[in-house]
Amino acid sequence: MAESGAPVELYVYDLSHGLARQLSPQLVGRLVEGIWHTSVVVYGTEWYYGQGVLRAKPGSTAHGAPLQRLAMGHTKVSVEELVSFVTRLAEAKYTADRYRLLDHNCNHFSAEVVQYLTGGEIPAYIRDLPREILATDFGRALQPLLEGAQPPSRLPSDRLTHVHSPVEPALATSSLEAAVLPDPHPHRRLIPTPALNGLGHLPILFPQPEGARRALARLRALPEAQRLDPVVLADDQLDYVAPLSDPTSWRAALDHLYDTLKPTDRFPVLDLVRYALTCPGLCGAAEGETGFRWTKKLLSDATAVATDSEAVPRPLLITALRLACNIWACDNLVDHLSQPPTVEGAGTPPLLDVLTGLMVHAILCSEVTVRQAGAALAFNLGAWVGTGRRAAYERARGATRLSDTSPLPSEWCDHRHEDWLIEAVSAITEALRKEPASPTAFRLLAALAHLLYLAPAGTLELADVLGLGEWLADHQTEWPSEPRGAALACEVVALLAARPT
């Protein structure tokens, strides 16, 4: 005899898309079949928890097709009673900010809903997975990170305020096919990223005055400097005992000296500008359109020398890289990063392209110190892109309404910088694969993590084709100088597997 009531199913997804089965023996010392995410399907609707409680038509979420559909029995609980129960859970217990990867996740929500509907339990292999992982050495090592893992999004906790209590009439139907808030990018839905979030977005800067003092001494000794106003090269310009009231005069004097020097001898001027960008007294030299064009010219010239000469002086290249990093200390220069050249500067590459050319040359250089500085610039670029992309994503998601079925936004300016993303991801991936385990390698990995988070599917596919995921899987435990390396490598592997459709 057929059971009465509505059928209840448990949809089971593998968030690792097979990677857990492939990599778990070497990482945790035992076979882990999958990283399980579950949802409950009843009355033609799929209910699940991650960034709050959400609902969707079965099989239409960002998780794709379920790996398994397990029959949990039948329920006589009415639609109205179910919605009331789930709403109470969403408001009191399963809010976005209470998500915990180990002990308060999607599977705990599914277990409560199944128990309420049928009195049954979800399978033990799903329920007990966190405990089994933590019983291994690898799991214990990652436990502090896992315990701090937050849900993959920071959306306001109102997903189920779309299922208002008292129950909305539109939801009190047997099909519950009301419009659903579109699923966000799978990176936000599926991948907790505590290691990536812990990196922060603050740029790596080089404000040290010692190099600038040595640069002043070098410049004062040059015959070309004798025609300059002595105040321009005075030591107190570094200490700001008597800062210049007009930084543009300082810029004009240095620019004149710069033009008289051979390209390979210009690094003392670059070092002074490098320091000036971090100091209130002199950073005004880079303000305005004229200051921007001047700074870009210095970097463009240095990049040209670095890429065209086989014997580029190492001090010139390192100083140019540090100057490039300090661009993030000057809002005027950062504002120009993604802008096309002005009419006056037409025919010259954008500042972003200049920095990228310098970065690519440096991270693939044979000199260790050059690669170190290049990796710092790579991190700054990656963090800047990642921060802008997240901000654009949050704004777009915040504007989304329940009735909006539009596709996910084209985050940051990926659609305008697709070629740039390809170049940056390709170069940094190649450099990382060649770099021994070191702080430089960690900076490159961090840059990639920022560039790949919320990235378009094409960028993620490119990184996968380049073998980044496979390489990280083989080397993710080889970070002796950086304890965060293994966790960050794991997260990047997961990001590559969770591509938007």
Nearest to 250 by CA among 262, 238, 260: 238
The token pair at 129 is 């997975």
Give the strands of the sheet with 52-56, arranged side by side: 52-56, 45-50, 36-42, 6-14, 68-75
The token pair at 154 is 């920071």
Please indicate whether residue 37 is annotated as part of the active site.
yes
Beta-strand pair 68-75/6-14: antiparallel
Q: What is the SS3 string spanning 259-287?
A: HHCCHHHCHHHHHHHHHHCCCCCCHHHHC
Residue of 17, 37, 187, 361 marked active site: 37
The token pair at 457 is 């599917």
Provide the H-helix boundaries in 59-105: 79-92
Residue of 17, 63, 106, 185 marked active site: 106
Q: What are phi and psi of 54, to 5 degrees?
A: -125, 165
Tokens 């097709």 sit at which residue? 65
Dmax over Cα atoms in the chain, in whole Å?
104
Please indicate whether residue 450 is annotated as part of the active site.
no
Give every CB contact of residue 484 below 8 A, 6+ residues apart in sequence.
Answer: 195, 198, 199, 442
Contact 323, 298 (CB under 8 A): yes
Nearest to 105 by CA among 199, 13, 32: 13
Active site residues: 37, 106
